[in-house]
Amino acid sequence: MQEETEFEQFEENDPRINYKVRAKKTLEEYKQLDAEDESLAKWKESLGLSSDVLPLEFPGDTRKVVIKAIQLLVDTDAEPITFDLSTEESIKELASKRYKIREKSVYKLKITFKVQHEIITGLRYVQYIKKAGIAVDKIDDHLGSYAPNTAKKPVYEVELPESEAPSGFLARGNYNAVSKFIDDDQANHLTLNWSVEIVKK
């Protein structure tokens, strides 16, 4: 598996790296903010601000974004490929696995996650891809802004846009990916190392 630092070349000249976000407010501050402002009340409601906030994933859990699962949905397969992200061990094991995808398959990622502690703004899914040690692609998809999950909305699910697997003799083979979940504060909530193999159709 390639080291994460090998993907840093993608981040050069990214203006978001130097973007400064205003100081965040606590959930209680948001609830009290301009209580008489109807438009702001609707905005807070759209964010899911509620008193029915779920407890932490486990006592003392300091994570703000908990990625619970990622599914690789491929058109040629009946069952999605599921990345087990439930434990530290399963996340580490992901780096040693390689999933096969047929060339020219149409695929997309489905991300299931939970937010806790505070509102997360500008969450993005960033993915760096290499083949034979050469950088070949970067994906940067905006996931949105989210309030901590509630009993009515226990998890969030987001599907990324579809992509088509490359084809041809030169395109087949092993691809290494590094995936990150980054917010407006440039906080990286999770880094995943994983691999796919593009095989003949």
pLDDT at 23: 60
Tell me the C-alpha distance between 106 and 164, whole Å: 4
Distance (Å, rounded) from C-alpha 191 to C-alpha 44?
30
Domains of the chain: 1-11+23-199 (2.70.50.30)
pTM: 0.77
> If you search the block for the tokens 């006592």, which residue do you land on?
59
pLDDT at 2: 46
Quote the tokens at residue 79: 């069952």
User: What gap in Å lies between CA 88 and CA 164, rounded to an integer?
Assistant: 31
pLDDT at 85: 93
* Mean pLDDT, contiguous 10-residue spans, the chain (201 residues): 50 54 60 65 63 87 95 82 91 92 92 94 95 90 93 94 92 95 95 94 83
128, containing H or E segment? strand 120-131
pLDDT at res. 31: 58
**pLDDT, position 106:** 92
Query: What pLDDT, on a 0 to 100 scale, did the predictor assign at position 175?
Result: 95
With residue 100 as reference, give the H or E element that holds it. Answer: strand 98-102
Position 30 scores a pLDDT of 60
Q: What are phi and psi of 74, to 5 degrees?
A: -115, 135
The pLDDT, as a whole number, for residue 53 is: 86
Residue for token digits 């703000």? 64
Instruction: Give me 98's structure tokens.
Output: 């390689």
| Residue 150 DSSP label | B
